A = this chain, B = another copy of it.
Amino acid sequence: MPPERNRRRIPDATVSRLPVYLRILGEQADEGVDSISSERLAELAGVNAAKVRKDLSYLGSYGTRGVGYEVGYLVYQIRRELGLTHDWPVVIVGAGNLGQALAGYGGFGERGFPVAGVVDVDPAKVGTVLGGVRVRHIDELPQIVQTKRVNIGVVATPPHAAQDAAERLVAAGVTSILNFAPVVLAVPRAIEVRKVDLAVELQILSYHEQRKASLHAVPGAGAGAVSRPASA
């Protein structure tokens, strides 16, 4: 029996949607649904049905024509593909406002990402307890990463400390980083970095708001020229 084409390359766009499908499928399973069509899943995920089918087809042919997908089996396959068959402990650098909220937010551990540790440079914060975890000094980072087998680090420091935090994480052996600081981190190419930047998100919304506002300002179909028309 030939095993499976193991080195499937899944498009980034698909990878970023699989967690959404997974969450929805979990909810459906909880409600007792055990079979679902691409159409229905698409509706719940807010996307197009063809996209759902193509996304799922990267995992293999796990549907049944004329019927749909078996929810439990699909959950299993997506979890396997995302590497969610075991926990991934994370370490949080920065015990400020955000670090505290993250550590205190139960959703982390529940979803398979237990907080293995929180560290900070500030001795005043060391020893305090956040979400059941004692804050430790950043010098203990290598030890935490090694003993708890941590692969994923979270940067929750102020901007000026973020690059240092990232370097310490990488030096300690972390290979993926979730960065909340509004800073472009310079790390080795092999390190996967994802960025969550509130200011960026708000500014994107601002762009759309401003756009709506200036549409209101122009009359019918013309080039209203409310602000300055610049030539090309």
Contact = CB atoms under 8 A, between A and B. Distances in A.
Interface in A66-106: 80-84, 88, 90, 97-98, 100-102, 104-105
A68 B81 CA distance: 46
A18 interface: yes
A96 to B, nearest CB: 9
Contacts of A200: 16, 19-20
A225 interface: yes
Contacts of A32: none
A177 B200 CA distance: 14
Interface residues of A, number: 88
A83 B4 contact: no
Of A6, A80, A90, most B-chain CB atoms within 10 Å? A6
| Assembly stoichiometry (copies) | 2
A128 interface: no
A207 B83 contact: yes
Contacts of A15: 204, 207
Contacts of A10: 207
Interface in A124-142: none
18 contacts: A2-B222, A2-B223, A6-B225, A20-B200, A22-B203, A80-B227, A82-B210, A101-B101, A107-B198, A112-B206, A113-B199, A151-B209, A152-B205, A176-B205, A177-B205, A178-B202, A178-B205, A190-B227
Given A19-B204, A111-B203, A186-B232, 16 more contacts: A2-B224, A2-B229, A3-B231, A4-B230, A16-B200, A16-B204, A19-B203, A24-B184, A80-B227, A84-B206, A90-B202, A98-B105, A152-B205, A152-B206, A170-B228, A196-B196
Interface of A: 2-7, 10, 15-16, 18-20, 22-24, 44-46, 60-61, 80-84, 88, 90, 97-98, 100-102, 104-105, 107-108, 111-113, 151-152, 170-171, 173, 175-178, 182, 184, 186, 188-190, 192, 194, 196-215, 218, 222-232
